A and B are shown apart, each in its own frame.
Chain A
Amino acid sequence: MLNKLALSGIRHRIRDYSVLFSGLMIASAIFYMFMSLATNQTFLSSNSPAAATSFIFGFGIVLLAIITIVYVNYANTFLLSMRQKEYGMFMMLGAKSSKISRMIFVETFTIGAISTVIGSIIGIFATGLVSRWIISAMDMQVKHFNSFYLPALLWTFVFFIVIFMFSAIRNSISLRRSKVLTLLKRDSQPVKIKRNGVLKSIQAVLGLILLAIGYFALWYAGTNPGFIYLGIPVALVTIVLGTYLTINSFVTAVIVMLKRNTNYSQKGLNNFTLSQLSFRINDYTKILSMVSMMFALALGAITVGLGFNNQIDNVVNGQNYYDVQVINPDAAQQKRMKSLSIKTKDVYNYKTDGKKVYYRASEFKKQPVGYSQIDTKTMISSTKTTNNPSKNTNAGYELMNTRLPDQRTMEVGFVSDSAYAAMNGKETTTVLVKTNSFKNNLATIKSISKAEIKRYPALKNAGGDKYSAYTLINGFFSGLEFMGFFLGIAFLAMLASCLMFKILSGANGDVKRYNMLYKIGTKQKVLRTTINKEIAVLFSVPAILGIIHVLMGLQLFTKILYKPYANIEIPFAIFIVLYLGYYFLTRYLYKKIVLK
């Protein structure tokens, strides 16, 4: 009978339960997505040059596991807050507490199991979709990656079963220990307001100092790589603590200041919103600090991932000056070259006697040959031109790569026009093109390179042109970039859902407040605006801190990445759009719970 009652209780709150279910499904889907990368050793080793990758992913698993536990914990609180009154009523009617605790155990565990199974299936599809999207959007080459990966699925099941087991045990113990009256009246338990101004101001100052130390450590480790093993742990500890203290005190201080400004606070519901916030911030300090750290890590992962993408251009441009090289072009190749947007086009001829290669020196006087070089200190590539390639090893190297593979090892001579004309040997023409942009002409460049390989099969393994270098390097960095993206999106989804749940689990307690405001004559529109504002602040505090963390954190990569801040708006935009999505979802769900 009680079971039947409990089930009908679920049916009555189907909307709240669907929030709970979808949240847990998102959690297990993300966990699976992440595990499908992290546990796939073949994928990791074949896509990343660094041995550190496994370590980074190991670290990622630990972090994600911690977030997931916190997340399930919030979801669980949400569940308990929905159910305690009903279970309290059963107990009041005489149900034994052992029976009740068994019921909540079964309920928690069943919810967990169902959402894990459905979530993992969603995870498999989501992995496929997200990976395909990332790969095609970024022109990536990713090997050994499957959206269905059994070990990942098993890990997901085991992990979630264990944490739900603990949640279920915790719930049943908590219900068994609570008094019936507490269960029935938990919503109306008084809220204690703490006031300790001095302590808060000390915290605010300390928080900002710690953040400054952390940022300094990142910058210092970035410019002095030897310091990195000390710099990262120092930064991690100071920034985590600094974030916590800043949110706990600094944000509160701002709110108090706004409250004191009566011109602002005594307008409409501003004072109510501010009070809700200052009261929330106290309660939310831990989650907001965690979210801002995670936000920083996730955004950092995407930014650094994209940083590797920028690296591709730099490295590729350091390999070759010319974007296209065609040997003895036929009509078809000529036609393809016409569709390029050409910056410079140089044509050089050479003859070979089978031992040496001879160029006409005059050709280089008329059209200086371009070459590229990488500064070994800054790792930044630059391009130059010369009309005397015999004296320049970089230009000599550039020219060498434009010849057919069997002629690359031959000695090179630059001779006068008359000496060249007197030579017998077969003449070869090389057409070298530099376009306005390698990236924008990529499709044509690819087709020209493919056609060249068809015409001269020896080029297939030898490469030498820019497109071959690009393919090689793109493959090398794509893996890293893919991991960065995947990691970033998984973390973001998780932390934003975490914040969402924390906010929603407080919604039931807010129903009464909003109902009272409605009764004393607040318009629905005003109530909605208030809710929007409140949730916007809760979402933006960790986002702003997280963005500052990332901007500072990129200092760490100044020596490793070429221009770590280049194109930074792309990952930031992706991130902010996804994050905004969560904000809108949260405020929609919150209003559904709180308003009539």
Chain B
Amino acid sequence: MQKIVEVQNVEKIYGKASEKQFKALSDVNFEVKPGEFVGIMGASGSGKTTLLNILSTLDTPTSGQVKIAGEDITKLNNNQMADFRANKIGFIFQDFNLLENLTAYENIALPLALQNRPVKTIKPAVMSIAEKLGLEEILNHYPTELSGGQKQRVAAARALVHEPSIVFGDEPTGALDSKSARALMDTLTKINREDNVSILLVTHDPFSASFCDRILFIKDGEIGQELKKEDVSRAEYYQEILDSLGTFAE
């Protein structure tokens, strides 16, 4: 089976050769299979944001190879990268990043309009994802008229509407209260299960991470440990994550 994400020997070094250099990532290797829900955990400064930026073509590795849906993204030029992001990737950000002068509907429709999809197909696509995420009632509202949880669900809909190969979440529950956070994670899990959407989540919150199938722990730019959920319940998995975090730091 083809892998959705393949990362091989990725290294990222900041600073020019003549200056003091900082190695943000060193020899990172991992892969994500289709329909997998993977979490990347690590403390601040561990390199997880750098990794996410590289995976999402916002940054390029110093060396190594990154393939997404079979395509080597390190070989793309700027325009190809933009197209790649528009077609293959969905983003959910910590602070929602909705455009406050567009309604929820328009925010969700944005990625489709960007791809210049035929106008007729836009509405059905938006309505379908809105229904799945329970957003039908609020489609004509502006972001300022929505709660944090609603905003993040709109953002999730925007990330999913164009049926990307993979959805990247950057601390998606970071700005939510516990109830909304749980609702969002339940929604993401549902979409992952029912529609087989691959999700890669970067977080330092063990609760959010406990929804994943598999967690990669990153520390000082290296992936040190991997924790699979297997058949345990979410509550047990949460406990395992906490244990791992406790020992991983040592």
Contact = CB atoms under 8 A, between A and B. Distances in A.
Given A190-B144, A269-B114, A521 B109 contact: no
Interface in A231-288: 262-263, 266-272, 275-276, 278-279
Contacts of B84: 521
A271 B91 contact: no
A234 to B, nearest CB: 38
A520 B113 contact: no
B85 A521 contact: yes
A516 interface: yes
B16 to A, nearest CB: 19
Interface string B105-146: 010011111101001001100000000000000000010100
Contacts of B82: 518, 521-524
Given A275-B106, A279-B101, A513-B99, A520 B114 contact: yes
Contacts of B111: 520-521
A190 B114 CA distance: 25
A262 B121 CA distance: 11
5 cross-chain pairs, A with B, having the tightest CB-CB distances, nearest first: A521-B86, A521-B85, A279-B101, A275-B101, A523-B82
B53 to A, nearest CB: 10
Interface residues of A, number: 30
Contacts of A516: 93, 97, 99
B154 interface: no
A270 B119 CA distance: 13
Contact of B100 (A190, A519, A520): A190
A523 B101 CA distance: 21
A156 B130 CA distance: 60
A188 B96 CA distance: 12
A264 to B, nearest CB: 9
B87 interface: yes
Contacts of A522: 82, 86, 114
Given A191-B144, A193-B142, A262-B119, A521 B97 contact: no
A520 B110 contact: yes
Contacts of A518: 82
A384 interface: no
A271 B142 contact: no
Contacts of B114: 268-269, 520-522, 526
A521 B159 CA distance: 11
B13 interface: no
Interface of A: 188, 190-193, 262-263, 266-272, 275-276, 278-279, 512-513, 516, 518-526
Contacts of A278: 101
* Interface SS of chain A: helix
B83 interface: yes
A191 B100 CA distance: 7
B18 interface: no
A518 B79 CA distance: 11
A521 B83 contact: yes
Contacts of A266: 109, 112-113, 119, 122
A271 B103 CA distance: 11
Interface of B: 56, 58, 78-79, 82-87, 89, 91, 93, 95, 97, 99-102, 106, 109-114, 116, 119, 122-123, 142, 144, 158
Contacts of A191: 100-101, 144
Nearest to B53: A519
Given A190-B100, A193-B142, A267-B119, 20 more contacts: A188-B95, A263-B119, A267-B116, A268-B114, A270-B113, A271-B106, A272-B99, A275-B99, A275-B106, A276-B101, A278-B101, A516-B93, A516-B97, A519-B58, A519-B97, A520-B91, A521-B85, A523-B83, A524-B78, A524-B82
Contacts of B113: 266-271
Contacts of B86: 520-522
Contacts of B109: 266, 271
Contacts of B87: 521
Contact of A523 (B58, B79, B91): B79
A512 B97 contact: yes
Nearest to B109: A266
Most buried by A among B93, B101, B119, B123: B101
Given A520-B91, A521-B83, A523-B82, A271 B102 contact: yes
A475 B82 CA distance: 63
Nearest to B99: A513
Contacts of A512: 97
Most buried by A among B79, B86, B114, B123: B114
Contacts of A525: 79
Contacts of A276: 101
A526 to B, nearest CB: 8
B64 to A, nearest CB: 22
B69 to A, nearest CB: 14
Contacts of B158: 520
Most buried by A among B102, B109, B142: B102
A568 to B, nearest CB: 39
A188 B142 CA distance: 15
Contacts of A272: 99, 102, 110
